[in-house]
Structure 1
């Protein structure tokens, strides 16, 4: 669980990103150091940019300064390899909660330098003091960070959700909780992922924008790697009430419900796995369980393969 100072940094980045129309999605903590993903889409719904963000919050990160740069040194070999080989563009954001100074830098082979003039084992990044997170100049730079072909953009989208796929693959559980204003067409949803990795349960807001589109069509687009099923505990009371209304008769004399149609078990089998509970005719509420579909399982296999060093070494002919 992130401490108070770290939460301040994440909160500030969320606020600034949202003010420039980025969808900010916090990620489960891992040792790679990706704290969030930022995505921005065009009015048509077409993705425009997707970034991975590491956030460092605290005045201590600003102690070492040189030639109008803050020197960021908290980088290990594994992080260097991850950031510089990742098809998803990565940036680091430094935030000082005492002054609200917030700056950023790309994480690439050009910006990450080795210590001892390239001969050391450590790494550092020079973060420009005047590269503000976030203003109009930085917005333009972030949007032009990369110009990848569509198939790589699609791969990056799956890559941004890999940690959720891995949690499910390792036996954890992820639920999708969402509320839809069914009489509005803005497409902006209030959605969160409830992630149980076997040790802790944490909620992650997951904003998106699909105007004029039903949520039942949105969910497979936002999570194309998942199969969806209803959380039976969440829907139990509503399902039973509807079943009694349409398939039962209440006998007042004997004070009991008599089944005149399908049994409750047969009735539940006929229900859509992607259903909602409608509140006051205005808000549809969903609670769905995500499981890996064939795409999700295949993606994890492919990603594992392409992430290995020298993946072709075992198929090269030997010198003998």
Structure 2
């Protein structure tokens, strides 16, 4: 089941387009509680710099029905307000009118939220359009330490980290546009049923966790910068069942006989498909030492675990 209606999708697509024009990385949040549809990472010269923004997107004419002379009134309940104010990332609300293509935004913080008694409201200036000209104002919201921002990003990805730690199979579909100098790539992250749960010929259940496009990707190695808590390996079951894939090229280890000795050579991860325009990979994520250390520190910081000191 898709999370977005056609009207919602128009707003999400427009906001994604604007951030891509800025050269930033917008990531759809498809499995979430309340309050955030997208995270955005700032890039400089196509390189992510560890600054992040959370975005709530509302698309539809109805969101523009309550207005003052200079502002659009957006109303929210306490559940959403608490989520936004307690979130690790700075948050903005974006309203998109698909009829006029007007897209406006406002920061969500204690100064912009008004308690009306029955609910809460946020006034969004009609003139505050979300465009590439909003870059400086958006960057000022993320002026904290890059070190702290990176830790906040790990917190946002904690649901995926927990899945990996609990033994769930999480895979990445990576499609790299090989003829684009910008390094354009499309990424989808899925939680899938374990291989042993399905008989041959049975379609495997997949739950989409993240979906986004990014610049500056040149092969699967770039994933280590996007997901620093993970290692990656070939989804061998998927590769073996892909019609156009040559099993002789399966990544892994190949044993060769040279001068009376056997040698193991690790083969590089290669795409299962290359049509001249795109190279496609299907990779399994696993938790690395950074990921395991983050879990220990998070449990300690949350009061769920006492660190053991050995003298």
TM-score by length of 1: 0.74
Alpha carbons 2:19, 2:132 under 8 Å: kept: no
- 3-state SS, counterpart of residue 132 of structure 1: coil
C-alpha distance in 2 between matches for 1:305 and 1:71: 41
1:129 correspondence with 2:126: yes
Other-structure match for 1:195: 190
C-alpha distance in 2 between matches for 1:242 and 1:45: 31
Other-structure match for 1:155: 151
Bigger relative contact order (CA 8 A; separation at least 6): 2
Q: After the TM superposition, which of the residue ranges 282-291 and 5-14 deviates more from structure 2?
A: 282-291
C-alpha distance in 1 between matches for 2:34 and 2:166: 18
Deviation track 1:223-277 (CA, whole Å, cap 9, x = no partner) reads 111121210123327463348xxx8xxxxxxxxxxx997xxxx99x854574434
Return the offset for 1:132. 0.4
C-alpha distance in 2 between matches for 1:115 and 1:300: 40
Q: 1:4 aligns with which of 6, 13, 21?
A: 6
1:165 correspondence with 2:165: no
1:155-234 alignment runs, 5 A limit: 155-169=151-165, 172-180=168-176, 186=181, 188-196=183-191, 201-202=207-208, 204-210=210-216, 214-234=218-238
Deviation track 1:189-235 (CA, whole Å, cap 9, x = no partner) reads 32312313777533744333447xx5343121111111212101233
C-alpha distance in 2 between matches for 1:176 and 1:107: 32
- 3-state SS, counterpart of residue 207 of structure 1: strand
Q: After the TM superposition, which of the residue ranges 199-208 and 97-106 deviates more from structure 2?
A: 199-208
C-alpha distance in 2 between matches for 1:53 and 1:197: 27
- Cα 1:260/1:81, change in 2 over 3 Å: closer
- 3-state SS, counterpart of residue 227 of structure 1: strand
1:109-128 alignment runs, 5 A limit: 109-116=110-117, 122-128=119-125
* Structure with max Cα Rg: 1
C-alpha distance in 1 between matches for 2:62 and 2:277: 48
Q: 2:281 aligns with which of 262, 266, 286?
A: 286
C-alpha distance in 2 between matches for 1:99 and 1:289: 43
Other-structure match for 2:290: 295
Return the offset for 1:301. 5.0
C-alpha distance in 2 between matches for 1:40 and 1:61: 28
1:33 correspondence with 2:35: yes
Alpha carbons 1:29, 1:35 under 8 Å: kept: no
C-alpha distance in 2 between matches for 1:107 and 1:173: 35
- Cα 1:272/1:42, change in 2 over 3 Å: same
| Corresponding pairs, count | 283
1:141 correspondence with 2:137: yes
Unaligned 5+ runs, structure 1: 248-258, 315-320
Unaligned 5+ runs, structure 2: 194-204, 307-311
Structure with greater proportional strand content: 2
Other-structure match for 2:109: 108
TM-score by length of 2: 0.76
